[in-house]
Amino acid sequence: MCGLKERLERLAQIHNGPEGLFAAADPLQIAKRHGDEFVALLCALCAYGNAKNIVKFLEKLDFDLLNSSEKHIKKELKNLKYRFQNEEDLRQIFITLSRLKKENSLEDLFASPYKKSLDVSAGVKNCIREIYKINPYRSRGYEFFFGKIWHNSPQSALKRYNMFLRWMVRKDALDMGLWKQIHSKDLLIPLDTHTHKTALNLGLLKRRICDFKSVLELSNKLKEFDPQDPIKYDFALYRLGQNKGLKSGI
């Protein structure tokens, strides 16, 4: 395992910086350009599907609308669709985040329950709850975008929210580190199919289902390599799987 740790450390050094970030399309490229927690959340929640298409869509968005009136948002957001979200879904997403921005700090929404339990998923749940409270609009696309509130523990991997938290909490040449109230040691891996497959092939993970239990298993395994910053390996694992680096022995 010592060899694997050294390998992951080397990969993190290679990928956790501008060169690694811009080696291929990634929504963090757009989020870093703005340096705003609400823009970052919007970018992260759009991050499902093909990375090039995600970035292409994000490039079309006028993020200044998050600071506009709802009337202006409805007027400007026309003829725009995104995978599962239709035109009205996108209008309501912007309206929801603009309302949230006027009333709350996202960091406080996430950090308040986190501080009681040191569980970042409690912060995610609190944020989703507030989102649904602030806007009664519902549709399949809207609910897919923000996610569902769970009862006991999450079933899904919460990949997009955990990725957003990585951006906000970690501070290095890759991640923005805009937040100070959550510790990097408590972050969870933003598990997607690329990272899941890579972790299985490297022997970091045994569970073959890409769900929240796998998130906990892999996150705890990475803590053995770096207890204070286990998710620093995330982007390297993602790029490794995305580029099929395992086949080339990288």
Q: Which two tokens stand for residue 226?
A: 């770096």
Which ranges constitute the DSSP H helices of the chain? Answer: 2-15, 18-21, 28-34, 37-45, 51-60, 70-76, 87-103, 106-117, 120-134, 140-146, 159-169, 193-202, 212-223, 234-242, 245-248
pLDDT of residue 243: 72
pLDDT range class, residue 240, cuts 50, 70, 90: confident
Q: How far apart are CA 205 and CA 200, in angstroms?
A: 5
Q: Does 2 score more than 70 pLDDT?
A: no
Maximal CA-CA distance, the chain: 58
Which pLDDT tens digit goes with each residue over 145-169?
A: 999 999 989 999 999 999 999 999 9
Which pLDDT tens digit goes with each residue over 23-43?
A: 999 999 999 999 999 999 999
Q: Does 245 score more than 60 pLDDT?
A: no
Neighbours of 250 (CB within 10 A): 14
Nearest to 26 by CA among 61, 51, 58, 1: 51
Q: How far apart are CA 244 and CA 177, in angstroms?
A: 29
For the segment 54-72, the average pLDDT, to the nearest whole number, is 97
Q: How far apart are CA 58 and CA 128, in angstroms?
A: 21
Rounded to 5 degrees, φ, ψ at 171 are -130, 105
pTM of this structure: 0.95
Q: How far apart are CA 83 and CA 217, in angstroms?
A: 31
pLDDT of residue 239: 86
pLDDT of residue 92: 98
Q: How far apart are CA 153 and CA 120, in angstroms?
A: 12
Q: How far apart are CA 181 and CA 175, in angstroms?
A: 16
pLDDT of residue 242: 75
Query: At a CB cut-off of 8 Å and minimum separation 6, what does 204 contact?
Result: 4, 218, 221, 222
Q: How far is CA 175 from CA 163, 166, 231, in A?
A: 10, 7, 11
pLDDT range class, residue 246, cuts 50, 70, 90: very low
For the segment 73-97, the average pLDDT, to the nearest whole number, is 96
Q: How far apart are CA 184 and CA 227, in angstroms?
A: 9
